[in-house]
Structure 1
Amino acid sequence: MDGIEARELAYFVAVAEELNFTRAAERLCIAQPPLSRAVKQLERRLGVTLLERSSRRVALTPAGQVLLDEGRRALEGLSAAVRRTRRAGRQEPRLTLVMKAVGDGGMLPDILAAYEKEPDAVPVEVLFCGFGEHAALLRGGFADVGLLHGRPDLTGLDHEELLVEEQIVVLRLGHRLAGRAAVTLADLKDEVMPRWAGLPGDRGDGPEVRDAGQLLQLIALGHAVAVLPESARAYLGGDVVAVPVLDVPPTTMMVAWPEWSRSPALAAFVRTATETAGRT
């Protein structure tokens, strides 16, 4: 890290986040004097002032803000590298696939069946996550590959599109729109929409939801409606109904994985997924 040790960087990030040396020292489980010395040494090494200190407050300088932003990413990247390395060194290799429940477009059984026939295939474990958590789990080294929908943040990831789906609105049985052949967004303007946990910029005004089970329960109770991919029909119970939405853009399902991955098992999975999607 150009002369910066990971320990020093972690010390600085803790101070920069807390803006208090005492709280940062408690968080790091070290004494305050060595923490202060480490930050001063880092400033001397870099030749810049990172923190403005007074008897009343600690504040970040512009240089300190840059190091905080970059340092967080560097530490997260280092932690992810450690996780990936440990998983790659397991005696029984396997591939961890992250997806939300009912988020496979109905394709996962066919993908897994075809993948098992690949020479480089390894066992696949499926890690279910909440809405909006896929990309972070991939970047953080907790998973090797993911099935994602919509327009997620793909920073640090490669991806291939698998499936483009029209969208439906899921409503409680007996809802005023439940008997329609189709609806428009104008028909839904007064409806309560869920807020997807982990998705910045989401415009929903209803309850925050993290997974499909919670979402369907809220819809069945009449507390919200939700616009979902067409393939979600296969997972709906008898207490909700699905109606096509005519003027909402289609949604895309993709397979995504960390950049620079050289795993033959991962490459075989991505190839299998794209080939399976091409036959759908």
Structure 2
Amino acid sequence: MDRLQTRELAFFVAVAEELHFGRAAERLGIAQPPLSRAIGRLERRMGVTLLERSSRRVALTPAGEVFLTESRRALDAVDAAVRRAQRAARPVSRLVVAMKPGGDCGLMPGILAAYDAERDAVPVDIVLCSAHERAGMIRDGRADVGLLHRSNTDLTGLDFAELLTEDQVVVLPRSHRLAGRASVRLADLAGETMPHWSADTSNELSVRDVGQLLQLIALGRAVAVVPASVRGQLRDDLVCVPVTDAEPTTLVLAWPQGGRAPALAAFVRTATIVASR
């Protein structure tokens, strides 16, 4: 079979996401009949049925579900290749690092200072973003490398190096019933309100940086189980209590799979050395 074109993948993704040929055609800016024919040709070339069609509905087959996931990844990879090539063509190269505000376990100042001394170092731009944005930014070429927590991040398609493993603590207002305890277990936190990390802050329990999280806890609206390094950012009206049965969390440095640019390699090497100290 000849290699598929990105246009064919884009056509399929539009239909698979809309589950309606008319809406997909409108989204793509083409007429519906050519789109239907293109999907039919795609299925014949692949030798599989991707979509079940009837007069009333369009549904993905199991093969279509798999192909949708892989098509999205392929299109994202093409977009990422374009972005990286465009950035590489700029007169001054820069390394873009994505991280959550306060999510470096205190390592970033030392990493940046040591990286400046590397022969292959380039200027570094730090992009602060939510926990759920960072892996996507690395995959689509908006960032070259990022700091992520392995336990709650999908690292598919990324290479990574483990930097630091930490125990977890619960952050509480000083007035909280558990604030005076030497340690707690997860069962002790049953019924407590836990915020979640999200770029969508329309929900009052969604936070995108440590400052927002700590303010929410100080107001008595929530508590949070977080890596122990957050101790260095605590306000006077908050306390940390170790959670003895919480799984340790591992900070990793992640970059696109197969990435070998000298500036990136130097940053990864520097970060692992600094973290090991």
TM-score, normalised to structure 2, is 0.90
Q: Please give the root-mean-square deviation of Cα atoms over the aligned residues, in Å.
A: 2.1
- Code of the residue aligned with 2:247 in structure 1: it is P
Cα deviation digits, residues 219-274 of structure 1 (max 9, x gap): 11111101111211111222322222233232221211111101100110011111
Determine the structure 1 residue equivalent to 2:261: 263
Q: Secondary structure at the match of 2:9?
A: helix
The 1:243–1:77 alpha-carbon spacing in structure 2 relative to 1, beyond 3 Å, is: same
The whole-number CA distance in structure 2 between the counterparts of 1:175 and 1:214 is: 19
Give the deviation of 1:157 after TM superposition: 1.3
Determine what percentage of the aligned residue pairs are the same residue: 64
Q: Deviations over 1:127-167 (max 9, x none)?
A: 11112332222122221111112422211111111112222
Is 1:23 the counterpart of 2:23 in the alignment? yes
Deviations for 1:32-77, whole angstroms, at most 9, x for unmatched residues? 2322232233234334443333322223334433322321221122
User: Which residue of structure 1 lines up, in the alignment, with residue 77 of structure 2?
Assistant: 77
Amino acid at match of 1:92: V
Structure-to-structure mapping, 1:229-248, within 5 angstroms: 229-248=227-246
Once residues 71 and 150 of structure 2 are traced to their aligned partners in structure 1, the CA distance between those partners, rounded to angstroms, is: 29
Range with bigger deviation, 116-125 or 207-216: 207-216
CA distance in 1, matches of 2:245, 2:62: 45
Match of 2:196 in 1: 195
Answer whether contact 2:131 2:148 (CA < 8 A) is retained: no
1:142 matched residue in structure 2? 142
Structure 1 residues 66 and 154: alpha-carbon distance in aligned structure 2, compared to 1, 3 A threshold = closer
> Do the aligned residues in 1 keep the contact of 2:102 with 2:209 (CA within 8 Å)?
no
Residue equivalent to 2:161: 160
1:229/1:36 Cα in 2 relative to 1: closer, same or farther (>3 Å)? Answer: same
Cα pair distance change 1:211/1:49, threshold 3 Å: same
Q: Do the aligned partners of residues 194 and 39 (structure 1) sit closer, same or farther apart at CA in structure 2, a change above 3 Å counting?
A: same
Q: Structure 1 residues 249 and 47, CA, compared in 2 at 3 Å: closer, same or farther?
A: closer
Where structure 1 has 5 or more consecutive residues not aligned to the other structure, the ranges are 199-205
* Structure-1 residue corresponding to 2:172: 171
Q: Letter of the aligned partner of 2:219 in structure 1?
A: L
Match of 1:225 among 223, 226, 231: 223
Structure 2: 5+ residue stretches without partners: none
User: Cα distance 1:150–1:44, how it changes in 2: closer, same or farther (>3 A)?
Assistant: closer
Number of equivalent positions: 272
Aligned to 2:121: 121
Partner of 1:250: 248
Q: 2:274 aligns with which of 263, 272, 276?
A: 276
C-alpha distance after superposition, 1:67-105 (max 9, x if no partner): 223212211221122222222222211111111011111
